Amino acid sequence: VQFCKTQGIKAFGIDIEREQIEWARNKWGLDVCQASVENFQPGYSFSAVVMADVLEHVWDPVAALINIRSILEPKGFLVVQVPNLLGIKVPPGHSWGVPHHLWQFNQKTLTRIIVENGFEVISSSTGVLGIIGMYEKGFLSFKEQLYIWLAKKFHIGNRLMLICKKNDYK
Protein backbone atom coordinates (compact mmCIF):
# COMPACT_ATOMS: atom_id res chain seq x y z
CA VAL A 1 0.00 0.00 0.00
CA GLN A 2 2.87 2.34 0.86
CA PHE A 3 4.62 1.66 -2.46
CA CYS A 4 1.43 2.32 -4.42
CA LYS A 5 0.89 5.57 -2.51
CA THR A 6 4.41 6.77 -3.43
CA GLN A 7 3.66 5.98 -7.08
CA GLY A 8 0.38 7.92 -7.10
CA ILE A 9 -1.73 4.76 -7.27
CA LYS A 10 -4.85 4.63 -5.13
CA ALA A 11 -4.53 1.63 -2.82
CA PHE A 12 -6.28 0.21 0.21
CA GLY A 13 -5.08 -2.34 2.73
CA ILE A 14 -6.57 -4.66 5.32
CA ASP A 15 -5.18 -6.57 8.27
CA ILE A 16 -6.76 -8.53 11.09
CA GLU A 17 -4.47 -6.99 13.70
CA ARG A 18 -5.61 -3.63 15.12
CA GLU A 19 -2.02 -2.71 16.05
CA GLN A 20 -0.87 -3.13 12.44
CA ILE A 21 -3.72 -0.95 11.20
CA GLU A 22 -2.89 1.80 13.69
CA TRP A 23 0.81 1.61 12.76
CA ALA A 24 0.05 1.91 9.02
CA ARG A 25 -2.25 4.87 9.60
CA ASN A 26 -0.05 6.70 12.09
CA LYS A 27 3.37 6.10 10.52
CA TRP A 28 2.49 6.26 6.82
CA GLY A 29 -1.00 7.80 6.63
CA LEU A 30 -2.27 4.78 4.72
CA ASP A 31 -5.87 4.01 3.85
CA VAL A 32 -6.39 0.75 5.77
CA CYS A 33 -9.00 -1.01 7.88
CA GLN A 34 -9.23 -3.95 10.23
CA ALA A 35 -10.87 -6.90 8.45
CA SER A 36 -10.26 -10.48 7.41
CA VAL A 37 -9.75 -11.33 3.76
CA GLU A 38 -12.61 -13.84 4.01
CA ASN A 39 -15.16 -11.20 5.14
CA PHE A 40 -13.93 -7.85 3.79
CA GLN A 41 -16.77 -6.03 1.99
CA PRO A 42 -15.77 -2.47 1.06
CA GLY A 43 -18.91 -1.60 -0.93
CA TYR A 44 -16.93 -1.00 -4.12
CA SER A 45 -14.69 -3.05 -6.39
CA PHE A 46 -10.98 -3.16 -7.13
CA SER A 47 -9.08 -3.55 -10.39
CA ALA A 48 -6.38 -5.59 -8.64
CA VAL A 49 -5.78 -7.36 -5.34
CA VAL A 50 -2.36 -8.35 -4.02
CA MET A 51 -2.13 -11.06 -1.36
CA ALA A 52 1.54 -11.37 -0.45
CA ASP A 53 2.10 -14.01 2.21
CA VAL A 54 -1.56 -14.02 3.25
CA LEU A 55 -3.31 -17.14 1.92
CA GLU A 56 -1.28 -19.55 4.07
CA HIS A 57 -2.48 -17.70 7.21
CA VAL A 58 -6.26 -17.62 6.65
CA TRP A 59 -8.64 -20.13 8.22
CA ASP A 60 -10.47 -20.77 4.94
CA PRO A 61 -8.50 -20.13 1.73
CA VAL A 62 -11.50 -21.01 -0.46
CA ALA A 63 -13.71 -18.45 1.32
CA ALA A 64 -10.91 -15.89 0.96
CA LEU A 65 -10.64 -16.46 -2.80
CA ILE A 66 -14.42 -16.40 -3.27
CA ASN A 67 -14.57 -13.10 -1.42
CA ILE A 68 -11.65 -11.61 -3.36
CA ARG A 69 -13.35 -12.63 -6.60
CA SER A 70 -16.55 -10.89 -5.47
CA ILE A 71 -14.78 -7.55 -4.89
CA LEU A 72 -12.74 -7.62 -8.11
CA GLU A 73 -13.93 -5.74 -11.18
CA PRO A 74 -14.67 -7.85 -14.28
CA LYS A 75 -11.34 -9.07 -15.65
CA GLY A 76 -9.65 -7.82 -12.46
CA PHE A 77 -6.26 -9.14 -11.43
CA LEU A 78 -5.15 -11.13 -8.40
CA VAL A 79 -1.50 -11.50 -7.41
CA VAL A 80 -0.88 -14.27 -4.87
CA GLN A 81 2.44 -14.99 -3.20
CA VAL A 82 2.89 -17.83 -0.70
CA PRO A 83 5.79 -19.83 0.72
CA ASN A 84 6.72 -22.67 -1.65
CA LEU A 85 6.30 -26.00 0.14
CA LEU A 86 8.73 -27.63 -2.31
CA GLY A 87 11.21 -24.76 -2.33
CA ILE A 88 14.53 -24.58 -0.55
CA LYS A 89 14.05 -23.18 2.96
CA VAL A 90 16.44 -20.66 4.48
CA PRO A 91 16.84 -21.06 7.36
CA PRO A 92 16.06 -24.82 7.07
CA GLY A 93 12.50 -25.58 8.13
CA HIS A 94 11.43 -21.94 8.05
CA SER A 95 7.74 -21.32 7.25
CA TRP A 96 6.57 -24.80 8.12
CA GLY A 97 3.26 -25.19 9.86
CA VAL A 98 1.13 -24.09 12.71
CA PRO A 99 0.70 -21.74 14.49
CA HIS A 100 1.73 -19.29 11.79
CA HIS A 101 1.09 -21.13 8.54
CA LEU A 102 -2.20 -22.98 8.56
CA TRP A 103 -1.82 -24.08 4.93
CA GLN A 104 1.08 -25.16 2.73
CA PHE A 105 1.09 -24.85 -1.05
CA ASN A 106 3.18 -26.09 -3.92
CA GLN A 107 2.79 -25.01 -7.56
CA LYS A 108 0.14 -27.66 -8.27
CA THR A 109 -2.02 -27.10 -5.17
CA LEU A 110 -1.90 -23.31 -5.39
CA THR A 111 -2.83 -23.36 -9.08
CA ARG A 112 -5.68 -25.80 -8.41
CA ILE A 113 -7.28 -23.74 -5.64
CA ILE A 114 -6.95 -20.56 -7.71
CA VAL A 115 -8.49 -22.08 -10.87
CA GLU A 116 -11.27 -23.89 -8.99
CA ASN A 117 -12.35 -20.57 -7.51
CA GLY A 118 -12.80 -18.61 -10.71
CA PHE A 119 -9.40 -17.35 -11.77
CA GLU A 120 -7.17 -17.94 -14.79
CA VAL A 121 -3.45 -18.17 -14.07
CA ILE A 122 -1.59 -15.84 -16.41
CA SER A 123 1.89 -16.26 -14.98
CA SER A 124 3.62 -18.29 -12.30
CA SER A 125 7.10 -18.10 -10.87
CA THR A 126 9.23 -18.98 -7.88
CA GLY A 127 11.59 -16.58 -6.23
CA VAL A 128 13.99 -16.08 -3.39
CA LEU A 129 12.46 -13.04 -1.70
CA GLY A 130 11.89 -13.02 2.02
CA ILE A 131 14.92 -15.04 3.01
CA ILE A 132 15.31 -14.20 6.67
CA GLY A 133 18.55 -12.45 7.47
CA MET A 134 20.12 -12.94 4.05
CA TYR A 135 20.25 -9.33 2.90
CA GLU A 136 20.43 -7.56 6.26
CA LYS A 137 24.15 -8.19 6.67
CA GLY A 138 24.97 -6.46 3.37
CA PHE A 139 26.59 -9.35 1.50
CA LEU A 140 25.81 -12.90 0.41
CA SER A 141 27.94 -15.87 1.39
CA PHE A 142 28.94 -18.44 -1.21
CA LYS A 143 26.30 -20.79 0.22
CA GLU A 144 23.60 -18.11 -0.13
CA GLN A 145 24.69 -17.29 -3.68
CA LEU A 146 24.58 -21.00 -4.53
CA TYR A 147 21.09 -21.23 -3.03
CA ILE A 148 19.85 -18.36 -5.20
CA TRP A 149 21.41 -19.87 -8.33
CA LEU A 150 19.89 -23.32 -7.66
CA ALA A 151 16.49 -21.86 -6.80
CA LYS A 152 16.36 -19.90 -10.06
CA LYS A 153 17.75 -22.70 -12.25
CA PHE A 154 15.42 -25.40 -10.94
CA HIS A 155 12.41 -23.20 -10.03
CA ILE A 156 12.61 -24.18 -6.37
CA GLY A 157 12.65 -20.77 -4.74
CA ASN A 158 11.16 -20.30 -1.31
CA ARG A 159 8.24 -18.26 -2.72
CA LEU A 160 5.54 -19.02 -5.30
CA MET A 161 3.86 -16.18 -7.13
CA LEU A 162 0.83 -16.42 -9.40
CA ILE A 163 -0.59 -13.57 -11.44
CA CYS A 164 -4.23 -14.32 -12.16
CA LYS A 165 -7.19 -12.82 -13.97
CA LYS A 166 -10.76 -13.10 -12.79
CA ASN A 167 -12.86 -15.37 -14.98
CA ASP A 168 -16.19 -13.66 -15.51
CA TYR A 169 -18.04 -16.82 -16.53
CA LYS A 170 -17.92 -18.64 -13.18
The whole-number pLDDT of residue 150 equals 84
CATH says 36-166 is which class?
Answer: alpha beta
The whole-number pLDDT of residue 78 equals 97
**Segment 85-119, tens digit of pLDDT:** 777 665 555 556 666 788 889 999 999 999 999 99
Could you tell me where the DSSP H helices lie in the chain?
Answer: 2-6, 18-28, 61-71, 107-116, 142-154
The whole-number pLDDT of residue 167 equals 93
The whole-number pLDDT of residue 154 equals 82
The whole-number pLDDT of residue 165 equals 98
Q: Which residues on neighbouring strands pair with residue 105, listed in sequence order? A: 84
Radius of gyration of the CA atoms of the chain, in A: 17
Cα(69)–Cα(78) distance, integer angstroms? 9
| Regions in the chain scoring below 70 on pLDDT | 88-99, 129-138, 170
The whole-number pLDDT of residue 10 equals 87
- DSSP, collapsed to helix, strand or coil, labels residue 67 as helix
The whole-number pLDDT of residue 153 equals 82
